[in-house]
């Protein structure tokens, strides 16, 4: 027999196995299975039996040598209480090797009309009590299996499309990187930027969805590492002319993956801010803290992104002890008109001050928000009010303007 690996299922196989057992025990037969037709072979996808049997999930046989093929092609009847009385069945070697004394089999027909395979039950001995009512039960359960298979195949198709879309993006060198400037509150002087990923407009998906899809199809690490590599490559001319920082986003999984430190080789580590993203749960911090410790030894500063949103953000802050806390835009939005947001922001700023952390507010969009953040003594700012994400050339212009502003402030001082 040849082996065929079992495909992944969205809902798992337990429900189908439960249906197999229910039907088999109700009919009083020895073995029940779902067989899929693949390239001229019948592959066992699900098998249920009380005792150990020769049939194993993933095994396959030539379709023409099976009862399944004979039933679908019309050479064998769906109901055979005694296979010895059916000449075609008696001719097949499997009748004697398993052995098969009684047999019921019905096609599993999908919504598109395609025959996926068959639902079969058989006993080692003849059973003359089997009748058309039993066959009707088999057909009912075959219909339920067809619905499950339809869902699974649709899910597999969607996953394949996601993987192809992301693979195409990566093969084309994506994602594209833009830079959003980060400003000091004192004088609104630009001190660097955060690198942000951008994706094709067609099909339209949010940045978060692209990364979520990448994780779903096993390409998250490659996507994150590529984004970091692209950001460092694009920012190199900026570092050649300006001593400014660059913020890079990375999930704990990306930080812990092989090759992460190699990505940062040759870069001015003391100008890097690694923003640990907060979109996944961390159950064990030991490995992550060790990795962050090695980065700190090189001079990299650690930030926690989107504090105030996501999974247990304050627990993460306490565990990682970052150099920088980035206030989530949901806290900053409407800060000047919302006393509860002000109270939360004030508490976070006070917490950061006591812990020796700097605070950067994200999503600053109005003068009112800026005024409150100034009153709270937030050290850094980022948002559309001050600078939108743009290409590296635009970032160069922002830094040049900032340098002139800094010189003017120094002269005035």
Q: Which pLDDT tens digit goes with each residue over 302-342?
A: 999 888 765 557 888 888 999 999 999 999 999 999 999 99
The CA-based angle 159-165-167, given to 5 degrees, is: 100
3-state secondary structure of 327: strand
Please, what CATH class does the domain formed by 173-412 belong to?
alpha beta
pTM comes to: 0.79
The CA-based angle 413-380-291, given to 5 degrees, is: 130
Reply yes or no: is the peptide bond before residue 412 cis, omega within 30 of 0. no
Does 411 score more than 60 pLDDT? no
Q: Which candidate, 307, 297, 298, 245, places its Cα nearest to that of 276?
A: 307
pLDDT at 13: 45
Between CA 14 and CA 319 the distance in angstroms is 39
Give the alpha-carbon dihedral of 65, 67, 68, 72, to 10 degrees: 100
Between CA 125 and CA 267 the distance in angstroms is 75
Domain ranges of the chain: 2-158, 173-412
Q: Which fold has domain 2-158?
A: Beta-Lactamase (3.30.450)
- Phi then psi for residue 296, to 5 deg, are -60, -35
3-state secondary structure of 107: strand
Does 5 score more than 80 pLDDT? no
Q: Which candidate, 101, 104, 98, 1, places its Cα nearest to that of 57?
A: 1
Count Cβ atoms within 10 A of the Cβ of residue 310 and give its class: 0-12 exposed, 13-18 middle, 19 or more buried: middle
| pLDDT tens readout for residues 269-308 | 999 999 998 666 777 789 999 999 999 999 999 999 888 7
Between CA 8 and CA 67 the distance in angstroms is 26
Does 9 score more than 70 pLDDT? no
Count Cβ atoms within 10 A of the Cβ of residue 158 and give its class: 0-12 exposed, 13-18 middle, 19 or more buried: middle
pLDDT at 404: 64
């Amino acid at each position: 027999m040849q082996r065929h690996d079992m495909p992944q299922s969205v809902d798992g196989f337990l429900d189908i196995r439960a249906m197999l057992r229910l039907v088999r025990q109700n009919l009083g037969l020895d073995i029940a299975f779902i067989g899929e037709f693949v390239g001229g072979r019948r592959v066992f996808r699900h098998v249920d039996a009380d005792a150990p049997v020769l049939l194993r999930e993933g095994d396959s046989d030539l379709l023409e040598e099976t009862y399944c093929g004979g039933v679908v092609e019309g050479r064998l009847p769906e109901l055979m209480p005694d296979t010895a009385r059916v000449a075609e069945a008696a001719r097949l070697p499997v009748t004697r090797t398993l052995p098969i004394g009684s047999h019921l089999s019905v096609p599993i027909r999908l919504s598109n009309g395609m025959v996926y395979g068959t639902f079969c039950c058989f006993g080692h001995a003849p059973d003359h009590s089997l009748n058309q009512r039993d066959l009707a039960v088999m057909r009912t359960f075959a219909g339920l299996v067809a619905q499950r298979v339809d869902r699974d195949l649709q899910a597999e198709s969607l996953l394949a499309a996601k993987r192809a879309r992301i693979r195409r993006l990566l093969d084309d060198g994506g994602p594209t990187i833009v830079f959003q400037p980060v400003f000091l509150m004192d004088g609104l002087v630009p001190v660097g930027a955060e690198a942000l990923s951008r994706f094709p407009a067609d099909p339209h998906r949010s940045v978060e969805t692209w990364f979520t899809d990448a994780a779903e199809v096993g390409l998250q690490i490659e996507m994150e590492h590529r984004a970091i590599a692209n950001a460092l490559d694009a920012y190199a001319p900026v570092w050649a002319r300006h001593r400014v920082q660059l913020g890079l986003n990375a999930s704990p999984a990306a930080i812990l993956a092989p090759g992460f430190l190699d990505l940062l080789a040759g870069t001015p580590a003391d100008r890097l801010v690694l923003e640990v993203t907060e979109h996944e749960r961390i159950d064990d911090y030991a490995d992550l803290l060790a990795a962050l410790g090695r980065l700190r030894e090189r001079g990299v500063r650690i930030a926690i992104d989107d504090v105030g949103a996501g999974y247990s953000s304050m627990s993460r802050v306490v565990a990682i002890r970052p150099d920088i806390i980035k206030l989530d835009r949901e806290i900053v939005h409407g800060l000047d008109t919302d006393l509860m947001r002000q109270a939360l922001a004030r508490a976070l700023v006070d917490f950061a001050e006591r812990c020796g952390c700097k605070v950067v507010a994200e999503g600053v969009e109005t003068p009112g928000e800026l005024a409150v953040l100034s009153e709270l003594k937030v050290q850094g700012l980022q948002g559309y009010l001050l600078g939108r994400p743009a290409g590296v050339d635009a970032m160069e212009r922002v830094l040049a303007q900032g340098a002139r502003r800094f010189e003017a402030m120094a002269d005035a001082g």
